[in-house]
Structure 1
Amino acid sequence: MTASVLILNGPNLNLLGTRQPEVYGRTTLAELEEMARAHGKKLGLEVHCAQSNSEGALIDAIHAAVGRHDALIFNPGGYSHSSIALMDAILSTGIPTVEVHLSNIHAREEFRHNSFIARAAIGQICGFGPASYILALEAISRHLTRS
């Protein structure tokens, strides 16, 4: 049976490719999603993607993932550092989650070093640009195989 993974992207990630390319690169969200779907297919994973700038919509997507997806790859953007509600949503579902970031949040401004999401995730991958998503898919695949 093919495992289903939801890749959920948070605020401002719809602007990838044009927003601060010196930090986030020139890959667009559509390109990143296609790359993730292709790599997921190689791993035997069915990859679904969604993006929202709204905290409430992200919480709804996490809740809706239960019973539909086997794992979550989540780039919460700036909500990493402020959203206890998103952390609680992940904890309440029990869905295995890997937090991803394109940039190395630990090498940036100090306020970015703390992530509430990491407290609910099985792991965090950051700093590898679009490859952060590929690495997260690899990690999820291994995790699901062990489970």
Structure 2
Amino acid sequence: MAKVARRNRQLEGQVESLRQPVEEGFVPPTYEDPSIQDAIDTVPQLVAWQYDPDAQDKFARAIEHDELLKVEPAWQNRPLADRLVEVTRRVLAEAAPAPQTQRKDPQAVIAAAPTQSPQQISDFKGGALPNKTEPDYSRMSDEEIIRSLPRM
């Protein structure tokens, strides 16, 4: 009888250890409408973000982009699968690091700059020669300004 009692207590202890609350793990976002999940399933990168706990920020960003595309006239009548492909492209573009441009040596840029003077009017910005004939009114007195004005 003692053996049975000990075995019973051992089994009760095992059952209690199984009843302890299990720490809740990651639960990916789900959708009641199966057509939405079917559309998401057509874009592998989006599915990967949906089920990866470390990529939930990207999945949330994709949802934000989709909400924006829904109201854009160019995307309103497009299929959901096409919209999700565009959403994924935009999120990937945001996450991509900016291309690194090599900084050029200022002295080398100056040395390589053309030293030839303008040959024709189109060489000037705005397509016209700078007008040096206008007086500098900021350095003139009132009488000089009045004398420089054209007479009618």
Q: TM-score, normalised by structure 1?
A: 0.30
Which of the two has greater strand per residue?
1
Which of the two has greater helix per residue?
2
Q: TM-score, normalised by structure 2?
A: 0.30
Mark the structure with the bigger radius of gyration. 2
Higher relative contact order (CA 8 A, sep 6+): 1
